[in-house]
Every structure is written in C-alpha cells, then in structure tokens.
C-alpha cells in the first residue's frame, strides 16, 4: 500500500511539474515573425513529398495555380484541428466565389515520421475534408528542416507537443511565396484578398503592423489572448488538473484509511484469541 501511495504521489508531482514547465512559451515570437516575413518573395524549391495514398509527388506539381499551404501535426488535439476546420470553411467559401479549379490547398505534416501518409489520411477524414483541390502531404523526415525553413515556418518541440506560428502561406502560380496569413481563425476575407489579386495578376499590398498578428500556440496550459497580445494561464485546464489531483489524493486517503481499519481489526481479533466453541443446538 505504501508503495502504491508513493507511485501515485510521484505521478501527481510529475503532472504538476509538466504543467508548470508549460507556463511560458518556448518559441521566440519575434524571431518567428522575422523568419516568416523573410520568406516572402522566395522561390520555392521542388521538394519531394508523399500524398495520402503514399504516392510520390512534388511541390512543382502545384504550379500553374495559386496555392495555400498550411503546416500541421496530426498529434495536435486542439489547435491544428481548429485551424484546419477554420481553413476548410474559408476554402469552401472561396471555392464558391472563384471556383475550386482555380487554386489548390495543401496541408503538410511536419512531425515526421509520425505524420505519415496514413496519419494524414486519417486526419483529413476526421476533419471531413474531401475537397478535390486539397491534398494532405508528408515530407521525408530528412527534408523537414529544409522545407519548413524555406517557408519561414518555425516550430519548437515541448513536452506536450509543439509551439508554432499559425500561418497559411500564399504561393503564386510560379511557386513564389507572396504573403503569410496569420491566425487561428481564418476567414474568407483574410485569404480571399490575396487570392483574388493573384487570379487577376494584381500586385499585393505591403503588409504592416504584423507583430500583433503572430499567434504562438501552447498545446498545454497557456493560450494566446488577442485582447492583450500576451499569453495567459488556461485556468480551466489548471482546475481540471487540480480536480484530478484532489480526486487522486481522496482515493489515496480512502485506501490508506481502509487499510488501517482492516489492520486494526486484524490486531483486535488476534488479541481476542480464537473464537469460543458454540454450544450444540
């Protein structure tokens, strides 16, 4: 019983330590913004990728039309699904406006080898995405760094997942990055304006005041507050952890109390001696 209690306590301390380790964002927002913006105007290399069926394809296969590129990882339980659903709503609206055959979309899994073609296929199915102009791709593990660096996409591994900039990269028909669209909530207007200009061969305006648009995402314990531009503690999650800790401690107390009660009962019975024989009926 004592060993079980110590194991439970060690688990609780580890959980609390992990939650505390998530208290501050690990990704440098300013550096991430600089890298993201520095990628604008960059001609993309012809990277090799795998589609959802495991068939090889290349980034050059998407030239000839504007392309929207989103980096995700399939192990994300909240932010990537939310962003992808938001992007899906925007893409559906843009397809109605411009036509689904006028542009393409790709989601690229950067957490290799876990974001395999099978994992990307499952993720797309979970999101309910089967648009003909949207592909889910897996890069070879050895090329992830070069690919993400070229797109100006930065991410940082954490004990609970990844911190990363939420961005959709807009690429023109010649394979050149022309704009970065930031945010967890992607609207038709955010993506529609650069897409409309590309389809009309109109120049895109220079962006300004971008610092406040960058959203880093902590997978656990902290969330980005758009009102203040800072990261705050997710007290809902803290309360859930506190509730779990309280329940676990209550269970420990219950088992210890039950163990002590039975121990006292055994001692009392042993001191009382063997039971007296019952008289015959």
Mean pLDDT, the chain, whole residue set: 78
Question: What is the edge-to-edge ordering of all strands in the sheet holding 104-109?
Answer: 134-137, 104-109, 67-72, 167-171, 177-182
Instruction: Report the distance separating Cα 41 and Cα 174, nearest Å.
Output: 11
**pLDDT digits over 89-138, tens only?**
999 999 999 999 999 999 999 999 999 999 999 999 999 999 999 999 99
pLDDT at 279: 60
Residues 6+ apart with CB under 8 A from 209: none
140: its two tokens: 């070879």
269: its two tokens: 């019975």
pLDDT at 49: 97
pTM of the predicted model as reported, rounded to 2 decimal places: 0.68
57: its two tokens: 């394809």
Q: Calculate the alpha carbon distances from 265 to 4, 251, 271 in Å.
A: 22, 21, 10
With contact defined as beta carbons under 8 Å apart, do 171 and 177 qualify? yes
Beta bridge partners of 140: none
């Amino acid at each position: 019983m004592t060993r079980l209690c110590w194991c439970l306590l060690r688990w609780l301390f580890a959980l609390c330590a992990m939650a505390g380790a998530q208290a501050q964002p690990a990704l440098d927002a300013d550096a991430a913004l600089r890298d993201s913006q520095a990628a604008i105007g960059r001609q993309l290399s012809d990277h090799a990728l795998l589609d959802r069926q495991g068939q090889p394809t290349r980034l050059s296969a998407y030239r000839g039309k504007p392309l929207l590129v989103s980096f995700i990882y399939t192990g994300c339980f909240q932010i990537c699904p939310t962003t992808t659903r938001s992007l899906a709503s925007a893409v559906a609206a843009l397809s109605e406006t411009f036509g689904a055959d006028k542009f393409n979309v790709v989601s690229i899994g950067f957490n290799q080898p876990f974001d395999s073609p099978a994992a990307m296929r499952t993720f797309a199915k979970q999101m309910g995405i089967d648009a003909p102009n949207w592909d889910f791709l897996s890069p070879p593990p050895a090329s992830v760094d070069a690919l993400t660096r070229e797109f100006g996409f930065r991410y940082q591994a954490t004990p609970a997942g990844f911190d990363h900039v939420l961005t959709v990269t807009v690429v023109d028909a010649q394979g050149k990055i022309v704009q970065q669209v930031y945010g967890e909530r992607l609207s038709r207007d955010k993506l529609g304006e650069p897409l409309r200009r590309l389809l009309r061969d109109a120049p895109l305006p220079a962006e300004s005041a971008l610092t406040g648009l960058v959203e880093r995402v902590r997978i656990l314990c902290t969330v980005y507050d758009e009102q203040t531009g800072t990261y705050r503690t997710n007290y809902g999650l803290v309360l859930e952890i506190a509730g779990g800790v309280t329940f676990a401690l209550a269970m420990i107390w219950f088992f210890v109390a039950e163990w002590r009660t039975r121990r006292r009962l055994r001692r009392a019975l042993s001191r009382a001696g063997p039971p007296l024989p019952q008289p015959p009926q």
